[in-house]
Amino acid sequence: MRDTDLYAQILGVEQPWRVTGVELRSSQGEVEVSVEHEGSAPLKCPMCGASVTRYDTRLRRWRHLPTCQYRTILAAQVPRVRCPEHGVKTIQVPWAEPGSGFTALFEALVIDWLREASTSAVARQLDLSWDQVDGVMQRAVERGLARRQLEVPRRIGVDETSFQKRHEYVTVVADLEGGVVQHVADGRGKEALGIYYESFSEEELAQIETVAMDMWRAYIAATSEALPGAESKIAFDKFHVAMHLGTAVDRVRREENRILRERGDDSLTNTKHLWLYHPDHLPEKSSAQFDQLVHKALKTSRAWMLKELAMEMWEHRDPHAAEKIFNAWYSWAIRSRLDPIKKVARMIKRNLQGILNAIAAGVTNARLEGINTVIQGLKRTARGFRSRPRFRNAIYFHLGGLDLYPDSLAHSKS
């Protein structure tokens, strides 16, 4: 087999295109494959499809998948055509998206790598610039969003997440059954969630049975306005309640730590994470230290026990049983003399109906926590995002369940 035939097969180059030459540049570790469009083949305008005549050709290059360890470049004299209606246009090539410097297969490779590693790591590994890799990601998300047909989920989860600076937020809406992020909006106001609801008709909105969220006024307001019967659909999930209680435990710990340190005792320093574990999940190596702390740090221990007791509400699927547990817990919490705990206890009491809704609907934390964990991971790997749109697209890329590959490959891989 001749090298030109070999490459025609490897690259999937078909009539009216043919491989005319293969040049190996060993010193540069590069193979360049030349491709030509047969002069006699009919040509079409890329805009309207009309049969048109050749105007001239332009040399263009695309980075392709490597041949063994050799960086492989596809080079072609691409015809330009003159259409009576659209003027002079470059025809579309079958192996690349318009305007891309990569073949579709190479873009797919970059997309596959981006699922596993950060933009800068992929750029290093594939010898590309950060902007080139980022460009592939942004185009992939645009394609995916343009192709997707949004369906109204039965259960949705809404959450806010900060990006870069502390007080800049985006709102993330997920389909809790599909585990897919459907919507990312700027800010965490009423409008951020309102826009999502506006993308559905009234009949579609009526199909939403549960909206899991944090006890956050703006989301409650947006949901109450958009959904009929919202008061029985809004569900304050265990994940968020546990986070509020966890924060309260840490506030108590910090205050107690300050007092202990004044007496030269720093046993509570750097123990924040120990108090966040469910007792059954505490790492073996920390259990002795934790046992000691529980007996020593009186206020922090009490706060931690109150948090663990509150979690017992979720051990029942029965909202009435949960309400009884809550009432007993509340009277203890409110007399605890631990201000951060008292504050959360009041918040829970105000929002009890939504918590009981979550228990009755059997809203689990797995999806919400899972999505949250992935987003926190994205922030860590990216070491912050340069802009809100980039953060948004990274969430869509990793969690949007989108069909990301170039058109010529779409649906053939996933």
Return the residue of 40, 68, 85, 280 that touches Zn ion, per CB under 5 A: 85
* Residue 86 in contact with Zn ion, rule: CB under 5 A: yes
| DSSP per position, 231-276 | GGTEEE-HHHHHHHHHHHHHHHHHHHHHHHHHTT--TTTT-GGGGG
Among 13, 33, 45, 222, binds Zn ion (CB under 5 A): 45
Site string for Zn ion, 296-325 (x = CB under 5 A): ------------------------------
| Non-local CB neighbours of 305 within 8 Å, separated by 6+ positions | none
Write down the least CB distance from residue 91 to Zn ion, Å.
Answer: 11
Cβ atoms of 236 and 354 closer than 8 Å: yes
Minimum distance from residue 77 beta carbon to Zn ion (Å):
21
Interface size with Zn ion, residues (CB under 5 A): 6
Least distance in angstroms from the C-beta of 49 to Zn ion: 7
- Point out which span in 75-83, 122-130, 184-192, 350-358 binds Zn ion (CB under 5 A): 75-83
Residue 83 or 345: the one with the smaller Cβ distance to Zn ion is 83
Stretch of 44-52, 187-195, 316-324, 401-409 lying at the interface with Zn ion (CB under 5 A): 44-52
Using an 8 Å Cβ cutoff, are 178 and 150 in contact? no
What are the φ/ψ torsions at residue 35 (nearest 5 degrees)? -130, 145
What are the distances in angstroms from CA 56 to CA 76, 153, 176, 228, 408?
Answer: 13, 52, 54, 62, 25
Q: Which two tokens stand for residue 77?
A: 């004299």
88 is an interface residue for Zn ion by CB under 5 A: no
Stretch that binds Zn ion, among 9-17, 80-88, 224-232, 287-295 (CB under 5 A): 80-88
Structure-block tokens of residue 163: 């990006």
**Out of 19, 83, 140, 220, which residue is the one contacting Zn ion (CB under 5 A)?**
83
Angle of helix 388-399 relative to helix 130-147, nearest 10 degrees, comes to 60
279 Cβ contact list (under 8 Å, min separation 6): 308
Q: How far is the CB of 47 from Zn ion (least distance, A)?
A: 4
For Zn ion, the binding residues (CB under 5 A) are: 45, 47-48, 83, 85-86
